[in-house]
Amino acid sequence: MRRLLIVDDEAIITDGVAEVLGKLDIPGLEICKAYSGSEAVEWLNHTRIDIVVSDIRMPEIDGLELLDIIRRDWPRCRVIFMTGYHDFDAVYQAIQVWGVRYILKTEGYAKVIAVLEETLRELDEALQTDALLQQAMEQRNTLETLAHGDYFRHLLLGIGSGMPENREEDFRKLNVPLRWGQPIMVVLGSVLHAEPGSYVGRQESALAVKLLGDVYLRDRTSCVGVIDRFGDLLWMVQPSGEHADAEGDVFGGVTRFLEGTLELLQEACMKSLGSETSFTICSTPIAWETLPGAYDRLRQMQHHRVGDGTSMVLTVEVGPLDKSSQTHERLSIEKLEPLAGLLESGRGEAFIQLLRESSEAVLVKPPPDASQVIEIYYSISLMLLSYINRRQLGNQLPAAELMSFEAHASWQDAFDYLARTAEQLFALRRTSENSRAEGVIQEICGYIDANIAEDLSMVRLAGRFHFNPVYLSRLFKQRRGQNLSDYIEEARIRKAKALLAEAELRVHEVGMRVGYESPHSFTRFFKKATGVSPQEYREFARESIPGNP
């Protein structure tokens, strides 16, 4: 999805350009509007913008000042300047910046359309090319990547915490571009495989995404990415330079950058690598000493997602952490690691396949000591029981026989029972995700109906319900079969019809009650949706009421 922001202090130009470009029906293009430079900054502070079409001369914040903000916060955003002035100094200054184009308002809508289409093509080509991946491969030495992975996997397990002075020396020797004494933010990512595939294939996919992510994230941060023991991705991030948000919070600015940039990374991974990815951002800055606890908590919070989680960018906060928050290693972790990773990430088919392969290894050729089979059985049982307890599923899935190997007639029956229990767990997980998704959608619809006069833009709704705008849009379409913007328009029409038929309000007052400050905009909106003007509808509705003259 691409997000286009149109900025002009003359409403008739902003609305006109938006209407013309909207009629093009460009797939995946979301059009946003701002009627001043400050309103444009508000959009930029809340979400990623891919293209800005802006006037140069505006009060308060002009186009060139806006360009500085865009370059600081969203380095990959393209800018198209429109102006009615032959201000050559401003034009010359603007075109020196990468990704900036300039057109005159007198050139008409055809020119705007042509430049927009060319810009969209450039953005698509940037995602499709392998140049970024090749650049990443050249920049990151493979041995350095492996060394980082081993080192930080030990940190995540809380092994060998050492003294801060030792960590600083370690970072220097390993060429880690982070500072031990300063807080970090953490991003957890998953590469979603349609099929289990080979171990090497999964690792290669994860490494390619990791290297590509390094390129994108280093536009504005210092970061290190590693592949954890479950085959997922983990980035540790610190701000580079001064990039504070509106309240002066440096990490707040990084959170906004991560949300937008990870959307771009998802598109690049799909087009360049053919891989679907999902990310969870921990927006709470943490101390290095609490990294194991934060990582463990983040993996748990990633589980409580809404919908299927495909191509999701989720931002979460964690509560207070201390040094005692450590990842807990469980029985026979060497055997359980692959299964535990598949269970936690919800990869049901791969889990069942690996479980059956593991059981066949001991059932086809049983070991001389039966205790080895019992150990494997109870190791898997403990993992499933732990999952059931942590997700509080005991009342939905009785698991008394999990810890009773003797209750099964044979070894084969015992492992078949484990497989059936796992299948039930994955079914409950899917039901729970769907239920949470439906609950959230109902809550959003209720909020829209109760606040129909307010600003119901995608960005505001996403912020209100703690979603990424792109994911909210896709989730609503999946659950309701229509675009969120269409639902909002229908809700406004329903409310407007009711007010016109029943209330003694003037037409412009009705428009304000459904979110339209401008009477002209409300009349145009209503007539486009119903085929008649608000006044014509009022007269028709009142004539239809029995007893009216």
User: How far from the centroid of its chain's Cα atoms is residue 82's Cα?
Assistant: 32
Tokens of 306: 């809404």
- pLDDT value, residue 133: 59
- pLDDT value, residue 325: 39
pTM: 0.54
Measured between alpha carbons, how far is 416 from 377 in angstroms, rounded to an integer? 11
- pLDDT value, residue 376: 81
- Is residue 493 assigned to a domain? yes
User: How far from the centroid of its chain's Cα atoms is residue 373's Cα?
Assistant: 43
Helices 11-22, 108-128: crossing angle, 10 deg rounding: 60
Measured between alpha carbons, how far is 287 from 164 in angstroms, rounded to an integer? 12
Based on the fold, state whether residues 477 and 382 are members of the same structural domain: no
Based on the fold, state whether residues 403 and 351 are members of the same structural domain: yes
CB 14 within 8 A of CB 39: no
- pLDDT value, residue 165: 66
Domain boundary among 431, 460, 495: 431
Based on the fold, state whether residues 291 and 157 are members of the same structural domain: yes
Q: Which residue from 240, 231, 239, 224 is spatially nearest to 151, judged by alpha carbons?
A: 224
Model confidence pLDDT, tens digit, residues 18-61: 999 999 989 889 999 999 999 999 999 888 899 999 998 898 89
Model confidence pLDDT, tens digit, residues 413-423: 988 999 999 99
Model confidence pLDDT, tens digit, residues 500-543: 988 788 999 999 999 888 888 899 999 999 999 999 998 888 77
pLDDT band, residue 157 (cuts 50/70/90)? low
Based on the fold, state whether residues 107 and 159 are members of the same structural domain: no
pLDDT of 369 over the 70 cut: no
Lowest mean pLDDT among 172-176, 397-401, 405-409: 397-401
pLDDT of 547 over the 90 cut: no
Q: Give the CATH number, domain containing residue 81.
A: 3.40.50.2300
Domain boundary among 97, 128, 159: 128
- Is residue 271 assigned to a domain? yes
Q: Mean pLDDT of all residues in the chain?
A: 82
Q: Residue type for 541, please?
A: A
pLDDT of 154 over the 80 cut: no
Tokens of 282: 């921990």
pLDDT band, residue 160 (cuts 50/70/90)? very low
Can you point out the beta strands (E) in 70-150?
Answer: 78-83, 100-104
Whole domain around residue 83: which residue ranges?
2-128
Mean pLDDT of 223-252: 79
pLDDT of 327 over the 50 cut: no
- pLDDT value, residue 158: 58
pLDDT of 3 over the 90 cut: yes
Based on the fold, state whether residues 105 and 200 are members of the same structural domain: no
CB 23 within 8 A of CB 5: no
Lowest mean pLDDT among 109-118, 144-153, 181-190: 144-153
pLDDT of 90 over the 60 cut: no
pLDDT of 321 over the 70 cut: no
Choose between 324 and 157: higher pLDDT. 157
286: Cβ contacts below 8 Å, ≥ 6 apart: 183, 184, 185, 186, 294, 318, 321
pLDDT band, residue 323 (cuts 50/70/90)? very low
